[in-house]
Structure 1
Amino acid sequence: MAAGEYELALKAYTRSAADHGITVDVLSAIGSANLKLGRLGQAERDLRAAVKKDAEFAPAWNNLGVVLMETGKFAEAARVFRVAYGLDGGKSDSIKQNLTLALAKVENISYDAPEDATFALMRRGQGDYLLLAHQ
């Protein structure tokens, strides 16, 4: 993923699932790779499965919020980011930023990112992604 080789990353995550079982980490990683490949429906399905498997895994909730933002489901994304933020205990600035962006979209409040901003994932440690706005 860090090298931008999302198809290879997806294959590696799939092999990991075969070798070690389908864990919340694997589901979250597969969902994130699918998001980077533009497979939003698959990404959403995988990340929903991840949060169902472990409802207390904040990175999976955060990544699901990213997918929901990309698909224009801003209200649900804000709800999902709130869950992630609560589970994280407010320790992650990236989740707080994601929640702020989602709430701005829901409330139609202007923020520093331009209206035509696109959102992207950025890996920050194991299973933690940051939502960034790009022009």
Structure 2
Amino acid sequence: MALRLRGLRPALALGITLSLAACSTGGFGTSADSPYAPGIRPGAKSEDGLIVGHRLMAAGEFELALKAFTRAAYEDGLTVDVLSALGSANLGLGRLGQAETLLRRAIATDEAIPETWNNLGVVLMEKGDAAEAEQIFRRAYALDNGESDSIRDNLRLALAKIENQGYDEANQEYKMVRRGSSEFLLRRIP
């Protein structure tokens, strides 16, 4: 009988240990100074996709911003702000055709802001259509009441390009410079 209890004790100890281990959540507890990102909180409300996208645009992460703006489009619909943001992200990525389509859809409404008009003008300048870009910049300048320096500078550049049609395009290169959250400025590369 004693021999039988000796064989039963390790099995009983193993069974108790395993059952207690099953009750544990496992792992180490989380600490406030952990270098790892927090996990997903079920039921938590996510940050607005437009806000996240504009932060990513400011950081130069245009592809991630495009994904955030796409999420905003899914959540809020294709509003003027979402269309403008999607167009600006595509402009930052150099996708001029997509940017132009989205920005034209945004300005087709009465709610378009001057920055949207300005960004469309930048797209048209990048595509080489200075005459239409000049008209777009004029509209943006009028909507903004002449308060934005970048819109005024872009209008001046478009006017100068129209007046000097005989220049060699190979010698004239421009750089797109970001100003603000969703506004671009064309600068001549020295």
Amino acid at match of 2:68: A
Are the equivalent residues in 1 in contact too, given 2:83–2:103 (CA < 8 A)? yes
| Whole-Å separation in 2 of the counterparts to 1:69 and 1:78 | 9
Could you say which residue in structure 1 is the equivalent of 2:119? 63
| Whole-Å separation in 1 of the counterparts to 2:78 and 2:106 | 9
Which of 24, 32, 35 lines up with 2:88 in the alignment? Answer: 32
Could you say which residue in structure 2 is the equivalent of 1:112? none
Radius of gyration: which is bigger?
A: 2
Amino acid at match of 1:29: A
Could you say which residue in structure 2 is the equivalent of 1:107? 163
**CA deviation string 1:24-67 (max 9, x = no partner):** 11111111111121211100000000000236521111000000
Which of 138, 152, 160 lines up with 1:82 in the alignment? Answer: 138
Q: Work out the number of aligned pairs and report it.
A: 130
Which of 111, 126, 129 lines up with 1:73 in the alignment? Answer: 129
| Whole-Å separation in 2 of the counterparts to 1:38 and 1:56 | 22
Which ranges in structure 2 are unaligned for 5 or more consecutive residues? Answer: 1-56, 166-170
Q: Choose between structure 1 and 2 for higher RCO, CA contacts under 8 A separated by at least 6 residues.
A: 1
| Whole-Å separation in 2 of the counterparts to 1:18 and 1:123 | 27
| Percent of residue pairs bearing the same amino acid type | 59
Question: Measured at CA, do residues 37 and 26 of structure 1 come closer, stay the same or move farther in structure 2, by a change above 3 Å?
Answer: same
Which ranges in structure 1 are unaligned for 5 or more consecutive residues? Answer: 110-114
TM-score (norm 2): 0.63
Which of 125, 131, 135 lines up with 2:185 in the alignment? Answer: 131
Structure 1 residue 132, shift from structure 2 partner? 3.1
| Whole-Å separation in 2 of the counterparts to 1:121 and 1:32 | 12
